[in-house]
Each structure stands twice: as C-alpha cells, then as structure tokens.
A and B are shown apart, each in its own frame.
Chain A
Amino acid sequence: DGGITQSPKYLFRKEGQNVTLSCEQNLNHDAMYWYRQDPGQGLRLIYYSQIVNDFQKGDIAEGYSVSREKKESFPLTVTSAQKNPTAFYLCASSMKEGARAGAFFGQGTRLTVV
C-alpha cells in the first residue's frame, strides 16, 4: 500500500544531542513537508521541499536541518541549537502538479527531551 512512514514513533533526546527523524513515502510525490505541532498552535512549517536536492525554510526552521537526496526520503535533524524541541512532528507529502488532492501525512513522531 502507498503511504508515508515516519519513524520512530517515540524518540527521546538528551540535552545537547542531535537526533534525526525519518520520513519515507512511496506515493511518488514531488513535494514533502515537515511540521511541528504544539498544543494550541496548530501546525507550523519547519521545512519543505518541492524537488530533489532543493528545500526551503518554513516559519520555524531555526535549530533544524533537512536533506532531500532521494525523492522518497526527507529526513529532519533536530540539532542542539533547537532550544525547545519537545513536540509532535508530522511529515507530509503532496503531488506538485496535483495540489488539489491535498497533503498526505505520516503518523508522526513524538520527540521528548530528557
């Protein structure tokens, strides 16, 4: 079945560590997105990518980094520079030419700083 897979579902990070969240899709979608979700703040865009080897910062990119070496994969690294990383992270993808279909989401990763 086609879809988006995020892993791990739960992730714990120690202070000062970098961690990488995985996002893989087999929908042949061109565009991929990373969102952060905090209570009462909805979904805030961290980074997005429309094509391989290209990505743009979203509203809250500071302390995060991404890569898009393959169409199917869009990993997100939460660096030690992100001062408050505890949150729920959602990855999504969409067709570049068919935005009317909307974005498809993974099941999310819950990151907790310990």
Chain B
Amino acid sequence: AQTVTQSQPEMSVQEAETVTLSCTYDTSESNYYLFWYKQPPSRQMILVIRQEAYKQQNATENRFSVNFQKAAKSFSLKISDSQLGDTAMYFCAFMIYGNQFYFGTGTSLTVIP
C-alpha cells in the first residue's frame, strides 16, 4: 500500500523566517514523483515544487526547496523568507508512473506578521 504521512497538522512561522514542513511516504516502487501542493484560503490547489525520485539533487523553486532522502522515504519542504501569502494548507503527494496520486493529510501553515 502507498501512504503519505504529514505529522504536523499545524505550524506557524514569523514573517521573513524559515520553516520546514515534514513528509514521509511508503512505497515499494523505485520510480516515482514527489510533489508539494499549496492550498490557500481560495482552495485552489497550486503546485509548489516537484522532485523525481531518480534524481539525487534536491529541487528548488525560488524560496522553496526540498530535502529528499530516498532511503529514509522523507521529502520535507523548506520555505525561506516566509511571506504572508505563504499562509495556506500544504499537501505532500507522490505518484507512481501510470497510477494515481497519493496525498497526505496536510499541514496548515500560518505566517505571522
């Protein structure tokens, strides 16, 4: 069975500080893709960053970066220089090629001015 676990239901961070959201997953597959999605109060799901499991280099997108530890099946998201617009639910997800997406239960992040 494929599972995604986000153990932090809620987090907060001061504006301009750095925060890390945790995600672990379980799969017996060796080739898959990992994603972080953001869901702001509008409820529109927005892709933040993605990582291909066969790539060892951690993905980065501006202020967002990941720490991908394949052996540990860990995929954390780091947000640097947090901004008020980063306040949202964040979902970790992975997909096995040709299969469905599996989502975690989400982490609610609040950026405090």
Chain A interfacial positions (CB closer than 8 Å to B): 33, 35, 40-43, 45, 48, 50, 56, 58, 88, 90, 92, 94, 96, 99-105, 107-108
Contact = CB atoms under 8 A, between A and B. Distances in A.
B33 A99 contact: yes
Given A41-B105, A42-B103, A99 B45 contact: no
**B: contact size bracket:** 20 to 34
B39 to A, nearest CB: 9
Interface stretch (B13-21, B78-86, B90-98): B90-98
Interface string B28-47: 00000101010000111101
A100 B101 contact: no
Given A100-B52, A107-B43, A107-B44, A40 B9 contact: yes
A28 B70 CA distance: 32
9 contacts: A40-B9, A42-B6, A45-B101, A58-B100, A94-B101, A99-B97, A103-B35, A105-B45, A107-B43
A48 B100 contact: yes
Contacts of B6: 42
Contact of B47 (A40, A48, A102, A107): A102
Interface in B99-113: 100-101, 103-106
Contacts, number: 55
A20 B29 CA distance: 36
Given A58-B100, A107-B43, A42 B52 contact: no
Contacts of A94: 95, 101
A33 B101 contact: yes
A97 to B, nearest CB: 9
